[in-house]
Every structure is written in C-alpha cells, then in structure tokens.
C-alpha cells in the first residue's frame, strides 16, 4: 500500500485577490502618508486595462464611480487632521486602512508608522 502524504495547504485564488486588493490600498496609503499633507481628498479609479484616474470625490460613492468608469477597483484617499485614510472597493470587497501621520505619534523602534487595516464585510440582512 503506497504511503499518502498529507496535502500541503495552498492559497485559494480568492485569497490572492484579497491580498492584491489590500496590498494596492496599502501602497496608496504609503504614498499618501508620505506626500503633501495640504492636498485635497482624491479618488483613484483603476480600469481594466491597468489605467488610473485621479478624480475629485465630491458627490460620489465608490460603487457609483466604479460603475461610471467601469473600474476594477476604486480607492478614496482622505486626510483629516493628522490621519490619512484609504477606503477601497472592487465590487465584491471593501477595505479601510488609516495611518496617523502626526510627528509626535508613537512608533516602535525600527517599525515606523503602522497602518491599521480592517476588512469590511457586507452586513447580514436583519430578520424579524
């Protein structure tokens, strides 16, 4: 009888997509946190051909921008006081990450500012 080795767990295609989506949001946060703090809020719309548009987010929701421009993902960058926040949406998932950019914020030695990440899941329908 042949010996059967346990299967090594493999990443599912869905987890790869979640990692790529969140990684892109983190990259945007890195750039936004290191840039000019006087800049206005902006929405970044990623299209199917890999193109990117930067737009004024006033009056738009992320799903509406995604539908209007046929986007694969939409990221909104907001600056409030000493915080930069990136909200992402790609049609099936959302994320919200933020970073404190105040010069007096606490950092662990060698770690730099730490982004706080949270995946937002669709809420379950309420049944009475």
- Is 34 contained in some domain? yes
Yes or no: say if 72 and 52 are a contact pair by the CB < 8 Å rule: no
- Is 3 contained in some domain? no
Q: Is the pTM above the cut of 0.85?
A: no
Structural domain containing residue 99: 13-105+112-120
Yes or no: say if 89 and 60 are a contact pair by the CB < 8 Å rule: no
Bridge-partner residues for 54, per DSSP? 44
Q: What is the pLDDT of residues 56-85, one digit of tens each?
A: 999 999 999 999 999 999 999 999 888 999
* The total number of structural domains that make up the chain: 1
- SS3 of residue 125 by DSSP: coil
**Residue-wise pLDDT tens for the chain (128 aa)?**
555 655 555 555 556 556 888 899 999 999 998 877 677 899 999 988 888 999 999 999 999 999 999 999 999 999 988 899 999 999 988 999 999 887 655 555 555 554 555 555 454 454 54
CA dihedral 12, 18, 21, 24 (to 10 degrees): -90
């Amino acid at each position: 009888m042949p010996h059967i080795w346990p299967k090594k767990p493999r990443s599912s295609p869905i987890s790869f997509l979640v990692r790529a989506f969140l990684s892109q949001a983190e990259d945007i946060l890195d750039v936004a946190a290191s840039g000019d703090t006087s800049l206005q809020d902006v929405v970044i719309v990623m299209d199917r051909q890999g193109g990117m548009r930067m737009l004024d987010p006033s009056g738009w929701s992320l799903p509406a921008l995604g539908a209007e421009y046929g986007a694969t993902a939409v990221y909104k960058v907001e600056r409030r006081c000493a915080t930069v926040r990136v909200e992402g949406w790609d049609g099936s998932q959302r994320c919200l990450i933020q970073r404190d950019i105040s010069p007096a914020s606490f950092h662990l030695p060698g770690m730099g500012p730490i982004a706080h990440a949270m995946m937002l899941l669709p809420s379950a329908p309420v049944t009475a």
